[in-house]
Amino acid sequence: MSDDYPFDLIAKRPNHYGFGGLDRSAHIREEEGWLETLLNLPETRLVPVWRGQSLVAVDDKQEEQPRAGLLNAGDHRELVSQASFVAFLGNRGGIGHVAVDLSPLEETAVANILAAHGAFTDLRRIGPLLERFEGSVLAYARGLMYWHQRHQFCGVCGHPTESRKGGHQRSCINTECQAPQFPRTDPAVIMLVHDGDRALLGRQKIWAPGMYSTLAGFVEPGETLEEAVAREVYEETNVRVRDVVYHSSQPWPFPASLMLGFYAAAKTTDINPNDMELEAAEWFTLDQLRNFEAIGRHMPRRDSISRRLIEDWMAGFD
Ligand SMILES: [Zn+2]
Q: Count Cβ neighbours within 10 Å for each residue of 158-180 and write b for 16 or more, e otherwise.
A: ebebebebbbbebbbeeeeeeee
CA of 109 to the centre of ligand 1 (A): 35
List the chain domain ranges. Answer: 12-150, 186-315
Amino acid at 97: H
Give me the torsion for CA of 206, 209, 214, 219, rounded to 10°: 0
CA of 160 to the centre of ligand 1 (A): 8
Distance 68 CA to ligand 1 centre (A): 37
CA of 317 to the centre of ligand 1 (A): 55
163 Cα–ligand 1 center, Å: 13
What was the pLDDT predicted at 237? 96
Please give the Cα distance from 6 to 186 (Å, whole number): 24
Tell me the CA–centroid distance for residue 164 and ligand 1, in Å: 15
Distance 162 CA to ligand 1 centre (A): 11
In this structure, are residues 179 and 155 in contact, taking their beta carbons and an 8 Å threshold? yes
CA–CA gap between residue 53 and residue 114 (Å, rounded):
13
- 39 CA → ligand 1 middle, Å: 29
Q: 255 alpha carbon to ligand 1 midpoint, in Å?
A: 25
19 alpha carbon to ligand 1 midpoint, in Å? Answer: 35
Per CATH, domain 186-315 is 3.90.79.10: yes
Nearest one of 256, 238, 247 to 192, comparing CA atoms = 247
CA–CA gap between residue 140 and residue 151 (Å, rounded) = 17
Question: 169 CA distance to ligand 1 centroid (A)?
Answer: 14
Cα of 170 from ligand 1 centre, angstroms = 11
Centre of ligand 1 from the C-alpha of residue 158, in Å: 6
Cα–ligand 1 centroid distance for 199 (angstroms): 48
Ligand 1 mean position, distance from CA 157 (Å):
4
Distance from the alpha carbon of residue 181 to the mean position of ligand 1, in angstroms:
10
pTM, 2 dp:
0.91
Per-residue pLDDT of the chain (318 residues; tens, 9 = 90+): 444 555 677 777 888 898 788 888 888 888 888 999 999 999 999 999 999 999 998 766 656 688 999 999 999 999 999 999 999 999 999 999 999 999 999 999 998 888 888 999 999 888 888 888 899 999 999 999 999 999 999 999 999 999 999 999 999 999 999 999 999 999 999 999 999 999 999 999 999 999 999 999 999 999 999 999 999 999 999 999 999 999 999 999 999 999 999 999 999 999 998 778 899 999 999 999 999 999 999 999 989 999 999 999 999 998
User: In Å, how far from its chain's centre is CA 105?
Assistant: 25
Question: Would you say 101 and 49 are in contact if contact means Cβ atoms under 8 Å apart?
Answer: yes
Please give the pLDDT value at position 1: 40
The Cα–Cα gap between 233 and 224 comes to: 14
In 3D, which of 145, 119, 139 has the Cα closest to residue 56? 119
Give the Å distance between the CA of 177 and the centre of ligand 1: 5
CB 181 within 8 A of CB 155: yes
